[in-house]
Structure 1
Amino acid sequence: MTGLTRRGLLGASALATIGLATGCAKSGEPSRSGGRSGGASSGTLDWWDHFSSFQQLNDDWAEKQSDELGVRVVHTYYDASKAVQAYQLAHQANKMPDVYSNIVGLPLAALVSGKWVHELTLPDEVLRKIPPNTLTEGITNLDDKLYGFPLFSFRQSTTLVWLNKDHFAKADLDPDDPPSDYQAYKDACRALASAGVTPMTLALGADGSRIRDQVDDMAQAAGFPGYQGLKFTTGEYAYHDDSYVTVIEFLKELYDSKFMLPGTNNFSVVDARTRYATGAVGIFIDGIWCAGGSKALVPEFVDKIAFGPILVPLPEAQPWTYRGRPSATWFVAADSEDPEKASLLIASLMSDEYQKGMIAAMDQPPLNLDLVAESDAIDAYKKAVAFCGENVFLMPQAIVRNPEIAAVDAERKPVTPHLGNIVQGYLGGSITDLRRELKKLSDAFEADREQAMRKAQSAGANVSEDDYIFSDWKPGADYEIT
């Protein structure tokens, strides 16, 4: 999965859920199962996405659905680094595909008002298969109309530890007993280095979005009681909390100890995953989709993959993280000439057959997690899904309690430099006072929310900062609004 503007399919609000889940992208030009460059035309449904692990699955599914729907379905894959621009250009030219994946980077309200999306009409039997707490006003729905279809479970992580079995064996380490805390991880890195293996890499470079997401995850596992700097119980931004400092100082120690492959500070997700899949390192910190992404790059590497959990500072700490309700994965374009069949194409993705295909591809887990245990996926992927199922919890969200928060999200602006940029600067030495920079980031987010709140209130939205306060939240459990 490649991080672009994504803040996760699983964000703290509609803004945080935009740009769903960029799939395991690898570089290259668009890969097409047929035809034209975009725009609906009579007798054809165009289907675009950026999920590299699903390329063959979606090519095959397009052929199958061509027969089922009685219309030619043309599937086109775009590398995630190219998808945003391709979608923007297609929208400007009124040549959007009928069905497309969510990577545009706009809140749902903006997608609707900007004529990006068409209302979805799904059969009742499909709606009945969607798990509770999945379709949400302001995230997938607006004004009680369904616009976005969420295909992935929220119980997933961007920040798991993936091992190379051969390298661990060379260092006399047991891949079935992976490091789970900071000290054990550092010990494993030292053992790998002593065995002549470069210990690790991660995606530190590009726009910093992946390391931003991963530090957010690790901060939760280090005890931060919130998501993306926002505390659940107080509704305040606190990137300068000790948990964030602890995580970033740990990364700094790994960096300064030269445990990271040279060039890591410049690696995009694809760069880093390619090094892992070609055997250049013993460990790669990546999302739950790592097995699928690595398979797409180097198929023969899959048997060497082993799983490790998100790291915690101390052995006794709980590796708990928190995610919001799923955001949309798929949209129908506003100008589709056949929105009914486009909706039926999306509906077909909820079938057990397609969801089993998703599991075989080992990308993000599908909504139906019950299918994973008995699948043909490798053990490392099954362990990752099981771990997330036990340690990723549903978090409180302002937009779930008050859908009018969507009006605030629509007014939010990107805050730069963001957390990932600060991590890049601190590891590289251009930032020396880490906590001061994190406090400035907290203040910048508070200021941005305040200006967005004022604009939303001026436009008539019934919202307040109290909507972000969940004093009854408890760690280690799914949050349910009562």
Structure 2
Amino acid sequence: MTDQRISHRRLLGLSGALGASAFLPACTGGGQSSEASQAATAAASGSPSGAVTWWDQYRPLTKLFTNDVFAGYMQQHTGVKVTRREMPAPDLAQALQIGRRSKQLPDVHSIAGLEAAPAALVSEGWFSPIGDLVDVENSPVGPYLYDGIHRFDGKVYTFPVFTGRWHDAIPWTNTASLKSAGVDPATSPATWDEFRATARTLTDKTPDDVFGLVVPGKEAPYLDALVNRLAMTAGASGGVDWKTGEYAYGSQPYLDAFEYLLSLKADKVIHPASPSMGPRDARARWAAGQAVVYMWGPWFIGGLNVEEPEAVQRGVGVWHVPTPEATRNLVYSSPASGPFWVSSASKNPATAADLMLKLATEDVQSKLASTMDVPPVLLDQVKGSKAHPTYQQNVAFMEQDVRIAPVPEVGTPGVAKVLATMRDIHPNVGEIAQSVLSGSDVDYKSALSNYAGKVTAERDRALKVASKGGAEVDVKAWVFGNWDPKQDYTQKSYDGR
């Protein structure tokens, strides 16, 4: 998806599953003749039946999927047998590629790690449309469907399970340390200056081995996300200026974001081992009390609850993301994509789609909120769920702080071919930030300007390639003259461009 941050699960590198070659023989997907017979029986009777295999990378959701969604579905439909395999995203991608070649794809799977736009996968015939099998349009998630993300050539292929209204620069706090330093956990520092002053107070008034915040720098994608979010709070719309279609990485908001991070480094409020930490390392250090504030995504408290529950018991709080001025700017995210898809190789697509749609029910959405990962698409189900009050508070903050941004491929399908053709440019924003924060003598202003120029040139090249290939697309696809920074850009907004 255009200019979206990398998936947090790819940052985490979740482990604990077998390699691709180990589980393929055990997970034959919909390729067996017995399943074809079961599917035919189900079609004749009108009752879901047969085997459904399901692959994904959502380790934190294992209990929800296994004990609630799948077990409940099988209890309701005794003729259905659901088998799930969870694996890290890189292994999942490898398994899917091998499965496609060997005709052993599962019935339902996510696309984590495939490094291809959903539109490209649809055009290559990976998936079956589900709109004629189940009524997604009139389900609770119907209002959140977008062309080019969930609907292709008028056919619904997937739907959002998680919300797009989130960001990954949420200040999570150790409330015990805040109180010991005389800082009110319930009052968010509104501005960058206030946040900086608070970080100094926390560093000064806590033990010598405790710092105001931790900023993991080992993995550039984390810093890329952080810089982009900070630039948004400084007035940027993101990597692209939607009013002009130009790449904005060399603009003043991005320079301000770098300057601000460097000011925190100069204040010596960032944990000194940060450059050698990955995001999960930083969470462990935070949980051990070595840092008071950690800016990360909504899944932070859910991860703590599973792996460092004592930190949650000690006290975890949350603040609004600070902005440069008291007059707040917003942060922007693209609409949530569809995490799950029915394989075109499935011999039981109707039952697979029906099972998938259970994730859109209010009951499952409420239980999804209770896992405290990325919030569910039905945000009204968070309140009243079993999620920790701090998680619920954060969701309320994100509803105030986040707006849904335009997505070029929604308005112009040919953009997907351009994005598929574009090559990565290095050093990117995260890599530049990584060098700067590790102490390297880098002219970040020139580096950001050069990056914007190179990305622009690469897009121009990709546009020519896509146009020669028959795609109807030009640079105007990145221009949204009716974009209102204070409002969500909805499906209807594309008609008024």
Give the TM-score of the pair, scaled to structure 1: 0.88
Deviation at residue 161 of structure 1 after TM alignment: 0.4
Does residue 259 (structure 1) correspond to residue 302 (structure 2)? The answer is no
Partner of residue 223 from structure 2, selected from 190, 211, 214: 211
- CA, structure 1 residues 163+430, in 2 after alignment: closer, same or farther (shift >3 Å)? same
Contact conserved, 1:19 with 1:106, CA < 8 A, in 2? no
Contact conserved, 2:241 with 2:248, CA < 8 A, in 1? yes
Partner of residue 64 from structure 2, selected from 13, 35, 57: 57
Task: Provide the C-alpha distance between the structure 2 equivalents of 1:31 and 1:177, rounded to a whole number of angstroms.
Answer: 45
The AA in structure 1 aligned to 2:249 is: Y
Task: Provide the C-alpha distance between the structure 1 equivalents of 2:287 and 2:144, rounded to a whole number of angstroms.
Answer: 33
- CA, structure 1 residues 294+319, in 2 after alignment: closer, same or farther (shift >3 Å)? farther
* Partner of residue 28, structure 1: 15
- CA, structure 1 residues 24+285, in 2 after alignment: closer, same or farther (shift >3 Å)? same
Does residue 305 (structure 1) correspond to residue 305 (structure 2)? The answer is no
Partner of 2:229, secondary structure, is helix
- Over aligned residue pairs, what C-alpha RMSD do you find? 2.6
Task: Provide the C-alpha distance between the structure 1 equivalents of 2:310 and 2:90, rounded to a whole number of angstroms.
Answer: 25
* Partner of residue 73, structure 1: 82
Per-residue CA deviations over 1:424-481 (Å, capped at 9, x if unaligned) read: 0111233521111001110121112111111121122221112222223222122323
Does residue 366 (structure 1) correspond to residue 376 (structure 2)? The answer is yes
Task: Provide the C-alpha distance between the structure 1 equivalents of 2:117 and 2:381, rounded to a whole number of angstroms.
Answer: 31
Per-residue CA deviations over 1:282-318 (Å, capped at 9, x if unaligned) read: 111101221112212122332411011112123x131
* Partner of residue 440, structure 1: 450
The AA in structure 1 aligned to 2:240 is: L
Contact conserved, 1:158 with 1:213, CA < 8 A, in 2? yes
Does residue 323 (structure 1) correspond to residue 330 (structure 2)? The answer is no
Deviation at residue 124 of structure 1 after TM alignment: 5.2
**Where do 5+ consecutive residues of structure 2 fail to align?**
36-49
Contact conserved, 1:23 with 1:51, CA < 8 A, in 2? no
- CA, structure 1 residues 250+94, in 2 after alignment: closer, same or farther (shift >3 Å)? farther
Deviation at residue 334 of structure 1 after TM alignment: 3.0
Contact conserved, 1:123 with 1:347, CA < 8 A, in 2? no
Moved more, 430-439 or 272-281: 272-281
Moved more, 329-338 or 79-88: 79-88
Task: Provide the C-alpha distance between the structure 1 equivalents of 2:124 and 2:133, rounded to a whole number of angstroms.
Answer: 26
- CA, structure 1 residues 24+45, in 2 after alignment: closer, same or farther (shift >3 Å)? farther
* Partner of residue 143, structure 1: 153
* Partner of residue 279, structure 1: 289
Question: Number of aligned pairs?
Answer: 464
Does residue 102 (structure 1) correspond to residue 102 (structure 2)? The answer is no
* Partner of residue 38, structure 1: 27
Moved over 6 A (4+): none
Partner of residue 404 from structure 1, selected from 402, 414, 423: 414
Partner of residue 347 from structure 2, selected from 317, 329, 337: 337
Task: Provide the C-alpha distance between the structure 1 equivalents of 2:293 and 2:26, rounded to a whole number of angstroms.
Answer: 39
Moved more, 66-75 or 21-30: 21-30
Deviation at residue 407 of structure 1 after TM alignment: 2.7
- CA, structure 1 residues 274+58, in 2 after alignment: closer, same or farther (shift >3 Å)? farther
* Partner of residue 389, structure 1: 399
Partner of 2:360, secondary structure, is coil
User: Identity across aligned pairs (percent)?
Assistant: 27
Partner of 2:137, secondary structure, is helix
Does residue 418 (structure 1) correspond to residue 428 (structure 2)? The answer is yes
The AA in structure 1 aligned to 2:340 is: W
The AA in structure 1 aligned to 2:107 is: D
Q: Which has the larger radius of gyration?
A: 2
Contact conserved, 1:122 with 1:343, CA < 8 A, in 2? no
The AA in structure 2 aligned to 1:51 is: Y
